[in-house]
Amino acid sequence: MQPLRGTKDILPNEIRYWQKIYQVVNKVLTHNNYKEIRTPILENTELFLQSIGDVTDIVNKEMYSFSDRGGRNITLRPEGTASIARAVISNKLYLNSKINRLWYLGPMFRYERPQKGRQRQFHQLGIECMGSPMPRADVEVIKIAINILKQLKLEEWHLEINSIGNLEERIKYTNHLKLYLYKYESDLDEDSQRRLKDNPLRILDSKNTKTQAILNDSPKLKEYLTTESLKHFEEVCNNLNKLSIKYYINDKLVRGLDYYNYTAFEIKTRGINEQNTICGGGRYDELIKQLGGPYTPSVGWAMGLERLIIIMKEKLEIIESKKVIYIANSKIDNSDIIWQLINTIDKYQIHFELDISNNSLNKQIKKANQIGSKVCFIIGNNEILHEYITIKWLETGTQQQVPICKIDNYIKYIKFSLKT
């Protein structure tokens, strides 16, 4: 039996990276006053049709949709923002506070061609700052993304930003872009030809070199931006400058999702393949209203954790902590010494392993050495009879016999010696 195509088991030797990420983001986001939120993986299909838009790749080709036994149209969430917006509306979170700063981490589902850094079930970490129209909010979320990368010791990335204006400006621009591109229709790549009809803006981030050459002389989005959009963008840039956050303005950067306006940004690594975007985000002022909530200008981003982990593995070795205490024990099962001992180790929270192999004591002690334990507690027949434990320090070979009534103090000493 194999896992489904595009899905992966995260095995114990990899889970350390996931735990490290959770630890770091929980710390960074908590101190920036973002609150974790967990929404269901299943949502009504309608939510994504209404929010992401039916001309995007996600809705057109990538959604895992099905009808359940009650005939409801259900979709495994392909991204987080729509669900968070839905949760803010259905729980009326906007009543308690005008500003909601939220974060989430969990699996997302898209029916795509699996490749390195592209899976069908993948994970996103995302944050949403809801309720503020201020450019400072855009800068806050960008700064936090960068802070998280820094805390994870990742350095080889760059930030690209752009302004995609408001809907009105985009419609005007898109019409002119279309007129221009129709002249070169047969020279465009296949994907772009299709997009020309339903989502021309996305042609801008085509990876095809011929298409890109055609785009060089096309109308530019920024020429269609009016005062408000330009002012917002300028303030975002100014604030990034104040923070000494380096960025590149990429005037071809548009987000894959329909609901964005004004700021769009991506953080990319130097990866050689196409899967080099680790974080994508932007402002979405209309989404919550569009879904039936009050007008709530918002900004956020999502990071692909599988892609993050690919580069973390190259840069950051996370060493599994070694078992400190190994408990070798005799087969005789008429003593409660073992459980007394384990309760005491629990009390001091020391990493240990109880041997349950049913091997001879000698073999068990050998195992303790092999896995690099510091001390081996030996409970043989003699020990059980006379209520003591033999303690062997594996580095020096020193051996001591400690009466069970003194074991608490001894383990406290081990805990202390680990710290020094």
* Number of residues near ligand ATP (by CB under 6 A): 18
State the burial class of residue 322 (Cβ atoms within 10 Å of its Cβ: 0-12, 13-18, 19+). exposed
Return d(Cα 410, Cα 269) in angstroms, integer. 50
- CA angle 209/215/218 to nearest 5° reads 170
- Cβ closest to ligand ATP, residue 291 vs residue 404: 291
Residue 42's beta-bridge partner residues?
76
Among 164, 221, 240, 278, binds ligand ATP (CB under 6 A): 278
Among 39, 50, 51, 119, binds ligand ATP (CB under 6 A): 119
223 contacts: CB under 8 Å, gap ≥ 6: none
CB of 138 to ligand ATP, least distance (A): 16
- Cβ closest to ligand ATP, residue 193 vs residue 275: 275
Q: What is the DSSP string of 131-156?
A: S---HHHHHHHHHHHHHHHHHTT---
Query: Token pair of 346, please?
Result: 């629990």
Is residue 328 a contact point for ligand ATP (CB under 6 A)?
A: no
- Cβ closest to ligand ATP, residue 254 vs residue 407: 254
- Cβ closest to ligand ATP, residue 278 vs residue 404: 278
- Cβ closest to ligand ATP, residue 122 vs residue 262: 122
Three-class SS state of 387: coil
Residue 118's beta-bridge partner residues?
115
- Cβ closest to ligand ATP, residue 34 vs residue 109: 109
Query: Token pair of 409, please?
Result: 């103090």
CB of 316 to ligand ATP, least distance (A): 18
Is residue 128 a contact point for ligand ATP (CB under 6 A)?
A: no
Among 307, 325, 327, 355, binds ligand ATP (CB under 6 A): 307
> In the chain, what are the helix, strand and coil shares in percent, each to the nearest 5?
45, 20, 35
Site for ligand ATP in 138-167 (CB under 6 A): none
Q: Which residues bind ligand ATP (CB under 6 A)?
A: 79, 110, 112, 117-119, 122, 124, 256, 275, 277-280, 302, 304, 306-307
